[in-house]
């Protein structure tokens, strides 16, 4: 009897050891499943972010870059230039606005070296050698649309070389330039 009891005890110990090993391996499998699942979710989120950014990307260009064709794109772009005041034409019946913009530098360092934004806009508006581009926009005439205003437009360049703006944002730095030193305490 003692031999069969000893044999049974050995079998029970082996079964307990196997269960313990299965339990450890089972925990590892559960842990691995969570790690793999977390990695897959992380990859999916990264892919969603990248694809959404690509679809909504807008290219900011200068008039020179857009007209010269170095940009390579002609749709869904944002371009900045200075409004040449005597070219503004607005038809209130059709809400069609036409004007010409002249090139201004695209980086702030160059703008600062040239004396600030107001000086750059003034110089570009009257420079006969500055690259120019015709713009067409349909919508109400903005109040800030005037000579030497900075125009930031979103749209596409047509095959005829006319930029068709879907959005039009205007900045007039001379309007705020005098009040800036007083606000900053200078």
Separation CA 128–CA 102 (nearest Å): 9
Q: What is the DSSP letter of 102?
A: E
The pairing of beta strand 132-138 with beta strand 150-157: unpaired
What does each of the 186 residues of the chain score in pLDDT, given as a tens digit? 555 555 566 665 666 666 555 555 556 656 677 778 888 899 999 988 887 776 555 557 889 888 887 666 667 889 999 999 899 999 999 999 999 999 999 888 888 888 888 888 888 989 989 999 999 999 999 988 888 899 999 998 888 889 999 999 998 765 545 444 443 444
Contact of 121 with 102, CB cutoff 8 Å: no
Q: Cα–Cα distance between 132 and 148 in angstroms, integer?
A: 13
Contact between 120 and 104 (Cβ < 8 Å) = yes
């Amino acid at each position: 009897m003692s031999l069969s009891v000893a044999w049974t005890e050995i079998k029970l110990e082996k079964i307990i050891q196997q269960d313990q090993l299965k339990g450890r391996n089972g925990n590892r499998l559960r842990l691995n499943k969570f790690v793999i699942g977390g990695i897959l979710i992380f990859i999916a989120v990264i892919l969603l972010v990248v694809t959404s950014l690509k679809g909504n990307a807008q290219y900011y260009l200068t008039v020179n870059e857009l007209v010269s064709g170095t940009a390579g794109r002609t749709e869904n772009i944002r371009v900045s230039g200075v409004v040449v005041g005597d070219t503004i034409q607005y038809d209130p019946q059709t809400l069609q606005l036409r004007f010409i913009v002249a090139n201004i530098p695209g980086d702030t360092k160059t703008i600062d070296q040239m004396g600030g934004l107001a000086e750059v806009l003034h110089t570009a508006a009257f420079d006969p050698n500055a690259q120019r581009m015709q713009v067409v926009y349909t919508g109400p005439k903005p109040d800030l649309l005037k000579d030497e205003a900075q125009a930031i437009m979103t749209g596409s360049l047509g095959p005829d070389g006319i930029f068709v703006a879907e959005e039009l944002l205007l900045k007039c730095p001379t309007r705020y330039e005098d009040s800036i030193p007083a606000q900053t305490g200078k």
